[in-house]
Structure 1
């Protein structure tokens, strides 16, 4: 009881001192008050060996929370939250996991290379009743780092950069991965709430390399290449190349090019930017779109041979004259550039997008082109250094079929496997067609393995017959054409002889 009375008396004395000090401050000039505060800080430094570093929630950009603050929040949530007494749980923006962080006015302890560091989470509420248009003005959160002065160099030079790097890694692990698509430039806005260059939805494609229908050796080679790229930041810096890699996926429709992209994204834990070239007006817009992409992402241009004319070849002169209206006396109305919806992205602009100076902005990006007709693409577009690895997505092999059988039917062996192997070697069919035949025949009916495999055998026989018929027709047409050419040549020779 005596102790309680003692602390009560101390509290009353402290309150009286603070009241008197506030009265005295009103009658002391501001310059003298500042000097007194400076002298008191110097005096305290002689007796207090601890230093403080403050990390504010909002930095110079008031509309945007500090990246360092967010990294600290993520780091403390992952490494130190278990030692806190007050916690705050929330589902952060673009986060797939619940984030449990240190609540306001609580303190946690961390150790680094033998040094003890104290983190204190706090906030300052403005006394004014004026509503600010800037976020964070009415309620300013911050973290205070407290440490002994002898650890100054260790904390500033090593510990804080370590917290930044680890916090960013935690943010990447916890973030909800996204699938982006580019918006038309007419809707771009720099104001908050307006449309940006990219819109996004959660990326939820379930494809993985385990479920990808592909030859195991080819699949393993791609996985090794992706792992080497992910861990090669220092190597790319050493050789003087931007940290990016290009992949060309080519092959007939239905061979799994889009599924391969999804498997890559899930394996690397990257976002996906699906770039629609026909919605890009010119090379400048293309460059702006690239700048707005983030690291740890895959930039995809699907069916690049069908998007825009990127042959790089000069137009025919007659076609140019016809386009320019030469020889036509009718007056031509001027075209409003803002209403001209046709894309003017050039081969040169796309090449600069892939490996020009602007491609070095940021890092850890993969660029993927897909096409059904590799031969239609300009050689400059797909040379090594731009599209570093060419991956052929071919027709279904027996090894790929076994992956599909495992995925769809949960089987690894069956009496019909031998027949399926023989037919796959004799005909060409896409993995998509094989998968369709392995699907259940009816939702109400349980999956019947025998019926599904029998349907596949029937489809393979039909494809074999159609391929044979097409080949016979092609040979007949070639023979007919050869006979016609021979007949024409004979008639021409007869006329020359007669003449």
Structure 2
């Protein structure tokens, strides 16, 4: 149809809109609905555009529609610069105001060469009664308008693009959270997780460890974050397991915080002793979200998951029966989470519910863990966090004192090669508590004194252990000599 034809149809459409309200009062009541339907069909065939309405709240009323939220975030990042009126609001899980197009504002957008228009509208309530449900007092919506010829593109690709981009904007703006699971309770409970804002300041720049090992971890995290299609291609759930092991004070919790800040993920700190059954463990996992880190710290202490567990439990039950007094009620306060239940949680069928999750175990005693729990494929990367090396010390010196070199560094390097000391202890030694002004030399001398004391204590302890060992072995040697004679 040419431009002249559309030029003639335009005034005709305008005339219909103008005349219909005037003549509808003269139409018999029994015919008004029929005429209204015919009028809408005529407009549908004449008007070359289609509208899609996205309501703020779903039919459940209490839940905000995710597509509406995504559209709001998308318009904020893409189209708000073209709007004459703007509005700002602060989301529940965000610490940054979202500025998007204002009510009754219309803005254009384009996708693959196709032009569309977004309109932010609001409908007044039908009744004047006060409602306790969101969306009843004022119904907000977005209206997406586009040419009929592009309906397949808009419905098939553009709305998915809006949803994907809107989710990314929301994730970038949100306040990340630290979750913990609550002990099992009877009665109504809205969620098994409670949370606080996650504000740990640790980054990979402040983590004290060998730079090459740090780079290896960062590269692995980047590969995981960008590997959605790869994991789908090889048929594996989009998750990865990390085992952090080493003596206390070597920075395992700090490493978890640095990973979370690097990936911008939420953290779920799972307390296994508060979980009573495998079924409850699965329910807890279902309520975690994507882009998250599930942490079980001190896995060797959380539950006795070795093969001797049943024997220990039987011995404990026998002891309790012997000590039980008349009238004493039996208690069932032991967790029944099994090793197989935990393994299914890590990499079984339930682990594929959702995606982009990292599972992290920490332990101070690697040798105590069941090999099935930490094999490759479950804990994909084993990261040893050891005693402080000179390279780790230089990171701490830069963080705490702002120096990268000093005359005393050589002395400290020699001492660190002679004694095992944790990064936490080194960091404590770099803090000179009696002086507000940071005297670099004084702080380093304080650290040297602390390491020398630790060296003497380690030497004394080793001598005591050697003496105890010789004392224990002396009777055995004498017995062997007597037998020989």
Whether 1:92 and 2:84 are equivalent positions in the alignment is: no
In structure 2, the CA distance between the partners of 1:188 and 1:220, relative to structure 1 (3 Å rule), is: farther
Query: How far is 1:189 from its partner?
Result: 3.6
The answer to whether the Cα contact below 8 Å between 1:441 and 1:447 also exists between their aligned partners in 2 is no
The answer to whether the Cα contact below 8 Å between 2:103 and 2:122 also exists between their aligned partners in 1 is yes
| Residue 453 (structure 1) aligned to one of 429, 444, 459 | 444
When the two chains are superposed, the root-mean-square deviation of aligned CA atoms in Å is 2.5
Q: Secondary structure at the match of 1:294?
A: coil
Structure 1 distance, partners of 2:242, 2:186, is 31
| 2:7 corresponding residue in structure 1 | none
Matches within 5 A, 1:277-356: 277-313=272-308, 315-316=310-311, 319-320=314-315, 323=318, 335=330, 340-356=332-348
| 2:4 corresponding residue in structure 1 | none
Deviations 1:342-375 (A, max 9, x none): 3222212211111111111110000101110011
Structure 2 distance, partners of 1:461, 1:56, is 69
Q: Secondary structure at the match of 1:316?
A: helix
| 1:245 corresponding residue in structure 2 | 240
| 2:154 corresponding residue in structure 1 | 155
In structure 2, the CA distance between the partners of 1:119 and 1:391, relative to structure 1 (3 Å rule), is: same
| 1:172 corresponding residue in structure 2 | 171
| Residue 213 (structure 2) aligned to one of 201, 218, 232 | 218
In structure 2, the CA distance between the partners of 1:138 and 1:460, relative to structure 1 (3 Å rule), is: same
The answer to whether the Cα contact below 8 Å between 1:106 and 1:121 also exists between their aligned partners in 2 is yes
| 1:64 corresponding residue in structure 2 | 63
In structure 2, the CA distance between the partners of 1:258 and 1:126, relative to structure 1 (3 Å rule), is: same
Whether 1:206 and 2:201 are equivalent positions in the alignment is: yes
Q: Secondary structure at the match of 1:253?
A: coil
Deviations 1:20-39 (A, max 9, x none): 63x457x523xx44432321
Structure 1 distance, partners of 2:481, 2:124, is 100
Structure 2 distance, partners of 1:317, 1:352, is 24
The answer to whether the Cα contact below 8 Å between 2:224 and 2:240 also exists between their aligned partners in 1 is yes
Whether 1:384 and 2:356 are equivalent positions in the alignment is: no
Structure 1 distance, partners of 2:425, 2:411, is 17
| 1:41 corresponding residue in structure 2 | 40
Whether 1:127 and 2:122 are equivalent positions in the alignment is: no
Structure 1 distance, partners of 2:265, 2:286, is 17
In structure 2, the CA distance between the partners of 1:125 and 1:225, relative to structure 1 (3 Å rule), is: same
180-189 or 476-485: bigger deviation:
180-189
221-230 or 298-307: bigger deviation:
298-307
Deviations 1:153-201 (A, max 9, x none): 22111111111111111011111111111122317745xxxx4211111
Query: How far is 1:137 from its partner?
Result: 2.8
| 1:4 corresponding residue in structure 2 | none
Matches within 5 A, 1:3-152: 18=21, 21=24, 23=25, 28-29=29-30, 32-152=31-151
| 1:469 corresponding residue in structure 2 | 460
Matches within 5 A, 1:395-434: 395-434=387-426
Q: Secondary structure at the match of 1:273?
A: strand
Deviations 1:115-147 (A, max 9, x none): 110000111122213444432233221111101
Give structure 1 stretches of 5+ with no counterpart.
Answer: 1-10, 495-499
TM normalised by structure 2 equals: 0.91
Q: Secondary structure at the match of 1:54?
A: strand
Structure 2 distance, partners of 1:62, 1:396, is 56
In structure 2, the CA distance between the partners of 1:307 and 1:318, relative to structure 1 (3 Å rule), is: closer
Structure 2 distance, partners of 1:434, 1:448, is 16
The answer to whether the Cα contact below 8 Å between 2:432 and 2:446 also exists between their aligned partners in 1 is no
| 1:6 corresponding residue in structure 2 | none
Query: How far is 1:45 from its partner?
Result: 2.3
The answer to whether the Cα contact below 8 Å between 2:291 and 2:355 also exists between their aligned partners in 1 is yes
Query: How far is 1:453 from its partner?
Result: 0.4
Q: Secondary structure at the match of 1:465?
A: helix
Query: How far is 1:322 from its partner?
Result: 5.3
Q: Secondary structure at the match of 1:185?
A: coil
273-282 or 221-230: bigger deviation:
273-282
Q: Secondary structure at the match of 2:84?
A: coil
In structure 2, the CA distance between the partners of 1:286 and 1:87, relative to structure 1 (3 Å rule), is: same
Structure 1 distance, partners of 2:310, 2:161, is 56
Structure 2 distance, partners of 1:343, 1:180, is 21
| 1:3 corresponding residue in structure 2 | none
Deviations 1:218-241 (A, max 9, x none): 000000000000000111111111
The answer to whether the Cα contact below 8 Å between 2:54 and 2:141 also exists between their aligned partners in 1 is yes
| 1:478 corresponding residue in structure 2 | 469
84-93 or 260-269: bigger deviation:
84-93
Whether 1:254 and 2:245 are equivalent positions in the alignment is: no
Deviations 1:49-68 (A, max 9, x none): 01111111122443211111
| 2:11 corresponding residue in structure 1 | none
In structure 2, the CA distance between the partners of 1:157 and 1:300, relative to structure 1 (3 Å rule), is: same
| 1:359 corresponding residue in structure 2 | 351
Structure 1 distance, partners of 2:264, 2:208, is 20
